[in-house]
A and B are shown apart, each in its own frame.
Chain A
Amino acid sequence: MVLVLALGDLHIPHRAPDLPPKFKSMLVPGKIQHILSPGNLCIKEIHDYLKSLSPDVHIVRGEYDEDSRYPETKQLSIGSFKIGLCHGHQVIPWGDLDSLAMLQRQLDVDILITGHTHQFKAYKHEGGVIINPGSATGAYSSISYDVSPSFVLMDIDGSRVVVYVYELLDGEVKVDKIDFKKPAAAASAAAAASP
């Protein structure tokens, strides 16, 4: 039972001072095994904060990130899932499902996590899942000022993932849950295909 946190587009300190206190109180060290961030943190201090929450932190480069050493994309596997990470400003049109699906096929991942739109989205698409955790601080985006803070927690258990979405709506934390099971055929096909 692996807990994976996905949050990005914080834009601290330029567009937001910090995570909402309700979110911060929920994020305690010791529960989460991995953190995946699509980018735009933007400063090193946030990186350090994320490292304090979990030992395993993966970050990809957003356009406003001050650390230029982050990669553009990243792929890793947790449980029996392959997970891809990309900020999303490279994918045009921004937030377009088909384009993101192209990226997913390109990276050959089951779960693709992107950001940049500051809008939470989760698609089940072609045997995979595309997740946009939104902006954890609720920072304004290039296309919208009305952004509510959100992030995503994935509970990966073998070939089953439960996606919990935490949104701060009207000052209250709302949680939603999405179940996703990796299709057995795809799993066995992947297993057969791998050398």
Chain B
Amino acid sequence: MPQRLPYNEAAAAVENQEESTSPRSERQDERSKWRLRGLLWRMQLGVLPCRCDSVDSLRRAAADGRRRYADLRRRLLVDPHLMEEGQKPPDVSMDNPLSLDPDSVWGKYFRNAEIERVIDKDLSRLYPEHGSFFQGSGCQAMFRRILLVWALIHPQLSYRQGMHELLAPLLYVLHVDVMQLSQIKKRYEDLFDDRFDEDGEYKSSRMKSPFDLSEAEDSQGVNGYQDSQGIFEHDELNVDLKVIVKGSDTYGAEGELGALFAARFMEHDAYCMFDALLGGRGGAVRMIDYFVTSGVPDASSALYRTLAAADIALYTQLVALGVQPQYFALRWLRLLFGREFGLEDLLLVWDAIFAASNEAILPPGDSAADGSLSSRSAIISAIAVSLLLHSRAALLAAPDATGCLERLLNSPHIQDVRKFLENAKSLQHLALETAGTPLPAVAKVGRTTKSPQKSTKSGILRQGSTGCSPELLKMFLAEGYWEEKWKTSVLQRTSIEDLRPASRTTEQPKGSTSNGPSENTRERTETVTPPKPSSNGSRVQAHSKHLDNEHSDAKGPVEETVKSESSDGEEAMQRNVGLVAPASNAGSSDGETPDVVPVKDAVASTSNAPLAEAVPPQDDVDKIAGRSSEKEGGVSNTNGDEVVIVDDPLGVSSSARLRIPRTPPRKSGSSSEEEPGSSTSSSPFTALRKISMKRDEVGDSPRRPKGPVALQSLGQSMMEHIQVLEGVLSQKVREGEQISKAIIGGKGHVSAMVALAELRKISNALLQM
């Protein structure tokens, strides 16, 4: 039964190992744990039995594997010059170098030479930065032999580019193990020495011997040895010194061939590990599948399913842009993320991957059990999704598929791999859950794994879909009209109550069925931008005050006029983003956009500074947000934001009413149906309503340009704003400003990103109209 090794303990164990030479293990009688990756990986891959009762069985398994490899090697790597003794003299007519006979020794030799040429092309480029190990001739020769033997065993697949990179970490950990062993031997020479080997007589004064080890340790009260069922306890990642000693005993089972860590047999062990990794040893994940045409698409769709469950916005973005997962997933899967991490980090990633059991699991649901699901495949999907999320900002900002792929294939170095792996681990269950489900459809309202919120988001791409939440629809539909509207007129604000119902209704793209609410939202959105640049200063204080008040609710005010009471923080963020984008565009000053970012991210943050900072550009947004929130009785939603914004141009001080619309916890409890009790200035709302009304009149208003054209142009400008925003956002993150970090923390950032994604969708929708 394969072990389940929880990652946290793996991480702890890794840390332990790094202190292996610490005083902690100084005392010889202390139970010493050495984390030897080679041994652990061999067990996790299936080369060595996991649950073993004795070192002997480990040794026997190791010896068997090595024998198998040596036999294969001897058989397959022919040298025409060497004829075995006793063999009948070969028939020269068959065994000449130019022989066309396919069975001839020379024929095999030349065929091998062909494959070797291909392998060499790859090997010469293997890990040049660790060239001292990997580019050494001995190591390269080992690689060549291992890969050649494997390719000859599997003629239908033969050698594919990338296999050498799978082999590299395996050989490396074995090498490190051997080095570690020599270190251990130096430290505990007493335990390893064979006292009879020396010249002199048997030294009876010698206290320690390998056979005394158990007594010594027992005498120290080390528990777990006698009563443990296996050498490795359930969550024990480190290798006992006892195991190491016994494993290296020359006289143990299988003699030298069974020594667990042997430099001589590194090639053999590496081959066994390589074969197990590629072949899967009966488990669900077989790397071979990724090298075959059909494997990668299946895994990629699993990846996308997990992504859809984890972050629907990013998923819809990628699907909308037409980014096929295979483009980037191919490299990730075939090399098991070998190119995404440095060698040392890759070892940590592979620790996590191998720690997951590879036993096939039946996926939930009734989908066909193709036997390709296991914890290991789940963690692989989770890591891939984490990589995607790592580049979320850039992906959402990318204008097209090429941009996305560029970013994914050249993603920046991940600084904290441990944290990254922990995040990935948290997504693992998602991968398991979504295994059997179909991919959520984009561009129509589809069932997704999370809240109906998300389904509406996917539905956003189809304008006018009745399944959409009205606020969302209005949000992205209305955005396009902001500038348009603002340009055409200074809107008169209608009553807030007008805006309220207006925001609730679903807007049709062509404005066919739009009514008051949609108009309102549009009005609001439109007025967002203009006010923003104008009255920064005055609003700063008000906003900051307000924002401060709203700390606990910190959701970056979103420009989005669409109000979705049921929205979670994300929606609020999206709207905020939408508002901010045009605002930032209008403001177009560097100083403003950074503010926008922190404000957006202030959703989750509670720091004042960023909020204050963010206030000026966010004035409009905040104001409107605050207003609508107030109106809606504290439900965070974008309507409030818009209202705030609209307020500004009208010179209505909304400071008192500023409210950061919502917090993530604020859920659909406060639905859009909630009518805000408070009625602050009616002007903002009226103005907003006017926007939406105007939007409704798209086709009617003579002032307005052709609806679709306007929409497209608006969509275009919105897209630009979004990109600006994204750029600033990612720039902020990159800069690593303290404030930014505080603000752009987890949730806030995610919300900001989601908001931006929504904006993007909206602009896409507008462009398509």
Contact = CB atoms under 8 A, between A and B. Distances in A.
Interface of A: 1, 3, 25-28, 30-31, 153, 155, 157, 164, 166, 173-177
A31 B80 CA distance: 14
Interface in B98-132: 98-100, 110
Contact of B97 (A164, A174, A176): A164
Nearest to A28: B98
B88 interface: no
B120 to A, nearest CB: 15
A152 B96 CA distance: 11
B182 interface: no
Given A174-B93, A175-B92, A175-B93, A157 B81 contact: yes
Query: Max chain A CB contacts within 10 Å: which of B93, B98, B100?
Result: B98
Contacts of B81: 1, 155, 157
Given A26-B100, A164-B96, A175-B96, 9 more contacts: A1-B80, A1-B81, A3-B97, A25-B100, A30-B110, A153-B97, A164-B92, A164-B97, A166-B96
A31 B104 CA distance: 14
Contacts of A3: 97
Contacts of A153: 96-98
A176 B96 CA distance: 9
Given A1-B81, A31-B110, A157-B81, A166 B92 contact: no
Contacts of A175: 92-93, 96, 99
Interface of B: 80-81, 92-93, 96-100, 110
Contacts, number: 34
A60 B97 CA distance: 25
Contacts of B96: 153, 164, 166, 175, 177
Contacts of A177: 92, 96
B92 A31 contact: no
Nearest to A27: B98
Contacts of B98: 26-28, 31, 153, 164, 166
Contacts of B92: 164, 175-177
Given A1-B81, A31-B110, A157-B81, A173 B93 contact: yes
A133 to B, nearest CB: 14
Contacts of A25: 100
21 contacts: A3-B97, A26-B98, A26-B100, A28-B98, A30-B110, A31-B97, A31-B98, A31-B110, A153-B97, A155-B81, A157-B81, A164-B92, A164-B96, A164-B97, A164-B98, A166-B96, A166-B98, A175-B92, A175-B96, A176-B92, A177-B92
A1 B97 CA distance: 11
Contacts of B110: 30-31
Contacts of A173: 93
Q: Which 9 A-B pairs have the closest CB atoms?
A: A26-B98, A175-B93, A175-B96, A177-B92, A175-B92, A164-B96, A3-B97, A157-B81, A153-B97
Contacts of B93: 173-175
Nearest to A22: B100
A171 to B, nearest CB: 14
Nearest to A3: B97
A155 B96 CA distance: 10
A27 B93 CA distance: 15
B482 to A, nearest CB: 68
A26 B98 CA distance: 6
A173 B97 CA distance: 13
By CB atoms of chain B within 10 A, which of A28, A153, A175, A176 has the most? A175
A157 to B, nearest CB: 6
Contacts of A30: 110
A159 to B, nearest CB: 13
A101 to B, nearest CB: 28
A178 to B, nearest CB: 10
Q: Among A25, A27, A30, A164, find the residue whose CB has the most chain B CB atoms closer than 10 A.
A: A164
A174 B92 CA distance: 9
A195 to B, nearest CB: 30
A153 B80 CA distance: 15
Nearest to B109: A1
A30 B114 CA distance: 9
A161 B93 CA distance: 18
A155 B80 CA distance: 11
A60 to B, nearest CB: 23
Contacts of B100: 25-26
A177 B95 CA distance: 10
